[in-house]
Amino acid sequence: MVKLTSAIPLIIFLAFISINFNCLNRSLPKNPYPFSVVIIIEENNIPHGQASGFIYNNEKGLIATAGHVIEEGKKPGHSFKVLIDDHQYEALALWKHQTAEIGLLQIKKLETTFFNNSLPQTLFSTTLPAVGDSLTLIGFKPIDLESNYCLPQKVYAYQICQQEIPLVIELVDARSRDISLPMAIEEMQELIRLKKENPDLNYEDIFYTKHLVANPVNRDFGAKNGGLSGGVLIDRQGLARAIFWGDNGKRYGFVSLREIPQKYQPQN
C-alpha cells in the first residue's frame, strides 16, 4: 500500500493529509452539512493526519470513509477521533472492503441522544449515478493547501475548512486502466508478483474494478486535495452516493455506497 503523506509521487493521489494540529481542543463552528465529519488520526495520542467522512448510520455511530484512512489508523500506536461540530469522539475501525477504497469507523462511546436528536440520518442511495450526472463532493482540507475555495466562514479553529466541489460523472464501473495508465501498470506488476506465489489469483481478487470517476466542473479544484479522502459525493437531491478516495488532478475516484454490507445500513 502507498504510504499516506501530503505529497505522494504517483499519478493517483490518495487524498489523506499528514499535518500538525495546534488547536485540537478548541471548539468548532456549526457544520453546514451535519452528516459530513472531520476524521483525525492520532499517533501515540498526538494528531498525525486528517481525513473526511460522513455519518452513515447515526443509531450505531457508523462513519463511512476511504479504505486507506482505515488502514492508516490501524497502524501500531495510531487511533481515530471523529469531530462533529464541537463534539469529539474516539472511534475504532469496524470494517474495510477487501479491494475497494471504502470502510467504516464506529464511535466508541456513542451519545445516542446527541446522534439521534441533533443530527439527521444521512439519506443515501446505493444505485449508481449515470454518466453526465452532476454531483458535489463534500469534505474537509487544511486551508494551507488551497484556501481560495473554502466555504465562507467555515474555517475551523485549527485551520481546516469545509469544501464543496461540483463534479460531473465521466465513468461508471471503471477499472484502474480507465483512470490512470501508471496506476494500471503498477497493479499489473503487483498481480504478476502475487501470482508467482498463488497462480490461481485473478485480477478481481486483488483490485477493485467498479470505480466511479468524475471530472471537476472548475479545473482549479484539481490542485491539492489532501484531507478530502473519505469525503461524500452527494447528488442534487441531497442523497449520499459514494466515497472519495483520491484523484490525479483531473479525474476524481469514488467507490459507490453499494459496497457497504447491508447489515450496517440504518434500519429506518
pLDDT for 83? 86
Phi, psi of 159 (to 5 degrees): 70, 45
At 102 the pLDDT is: 97
Q: What's the CA gap between 247 and 221, in Å, rounded?
A: 11
Residue 59 lies in a domain: yes
61: left (phi over 0), alpha (psi -120 to 50) or beta: left
CATH code for the domain in which residue 230 is found: 2.40.10.120
What does the DSSP 8-state code read for residue 205?
A: H
The pLDDT of 133-149, averaged and rounded, is: 76
CA distances from 8 to 134, 192, 202, 261 (A): 28, 24, 27, 31
More confident residue, 109 or 45: 45
- Work out the average pLDDT over 205-216: 89
pLDDT for 229 beyond 60: yes
In a domain, 193, yes or no: no
Strand partners, 84: 87
Averaged pLDDT of the chain: 80
| Residue 204 domain-assigned (yes or no) | no
**Do the Cβ atoms of 45 and 65 come closer than 8 Å?**
no
DSSP 21: -
Residue 264 maps to a domain: no
Q: Can you tell me the mean pLDDT for 184-199?
A: 88
- 222: domain range? 13-173+211-254
Could you give the CA distance from residue 138 to residue 129 in angstroms, rounded to a whole number? 17
**Could you tell me the pTM of the whole model?**
0.83
d(CA 146, CA 256): 27
Residue 26 lies in a domain: yes
Number of domains in the chain: 1
Domain-located, residue 195: no
pLDDT at residue 224 in the model: 65
Does 167 reside within a domain? yes
